[in-house]
Amino acid sequence: MRMSFIAGNWKMHKTMEESKELASQLVQRLSGSPYRIMIAPPFTALGAVSEVIKGSSILLGAQNMASSESGAHTGEISPDMLLDSGVSVVILGHSERRHTYGERDELINKKAILALSKGLEVILCVGETLDQREAGTTEKVVTEQVEKGLKGVGMSDLSKITIAYEPVWAIGTGKTATPEDADVMHKVIRSVIQNLYSEAAASNMIIQYGGSVKPDNVKALMAMENIDGALVGGASLKAETFVPIAEYDA
């Protein structure tokens, strides 16, 4: 049985005070959630939010990480710095990193391997653009992203990986994949895991959906057989919208 995993990606929003305020509302309102819950504030608020959520079941996530352990990498954040700030999960390969900042599968894979070696969990984001969908290459693109993203990741580290399927055309646009369309892709991802690892690995893999998840569509999405949670952007920025998502009726 896969436990649903609901993650909020705050992106480049919220000052330290705003982050603490939202985190404390979530601690109060989500203490009894039956699901795994994670929030990923901006780097500058990680330490402060870590203090606020200490002792609660909410996990602290980071939105990105350097591909090297330390050194002359101006502007980058190392895995040890994340651990030091209380982070236990890092989001890698988000489409905004891929498409706005040119991150390629090889770099994302390097980050994933490093994060795992440091004991961090990884949410590996994959997803096709609208052009790729219209060209009929969705399955090929997503398969490649999963295969390349997981290159060199051993079976024993798989339980520390979550895959987030986020069709790029559905992110921040208000357009959601239909639950059926999303489920088709989640199934494709599960079969990639089966080919790379094993049937058991495929059936245990947590695969989140992301892209305009809202309180009014979460239930239908989560009802699909292969969808095991959500990576939420816009709707994670307010307790009024994140709490109902994080407590959806199964």
Residues in the site for ligand PGA, rule: CB under 6 A?
Answer: 9, 166, 171-172, 210-213, 231-235
CB nearest ligand PGA: which residue? 233
Residue 72 Cβ, how far from ligand PGA at the closest point, in Å?
30
Contact 212, 171 (CB under 8 A): yes
247 three-state secondary structure = coil
Catalytic residue among 96, 166, 186, 247: 166
Nearest CB to ligand PGA, comparing residues 2 and 99: 99
132 residue type, one letter: Q
Parallel, antiparallel, or unpaired for β 206-210 and 161-165?
parallel
Q: Residue 99 catalytic?
A: no
Catalytic residue among 94, 103, 186, 247: 94
Q: Residue 186 catalytic?
A: no
Residue 233 Cβ, how far from ligand PGA at the closest point, in Å?
2
Nearest CB to ligand PGA, comparing residues 26 and 202: 26
Residue 183 Cβ, how far from ligand PGA at the closest point, in Å?
18
Nearest CB to ligand PGA, comparing residues 9 and 64: 9
How many Cβ atoms are within 10 Å of 153's Cβ, its own excluded? 19
Residue 114 Cβ, how far from ligand PGA at the closest point, in Å?
22
**Cα separation, 32 vs 28, whole angstroms:** 9
- For the chain, list the strands marked E by DSSP: 5-9, 36-40, 59-62, 89-92, 121-126, 161-165, 206-210, 229-232
16 three-state secondary structure = helix
Nearest CB to ligand PGA, comparing residues 100 and 156: 100
* Nearest in space to 119 (alpha carbons), one of 147, 91, 149, 80: 80
Residue found by looking up tokens 């590996």 in the block: 124
Catalytically active residues are 94, 166
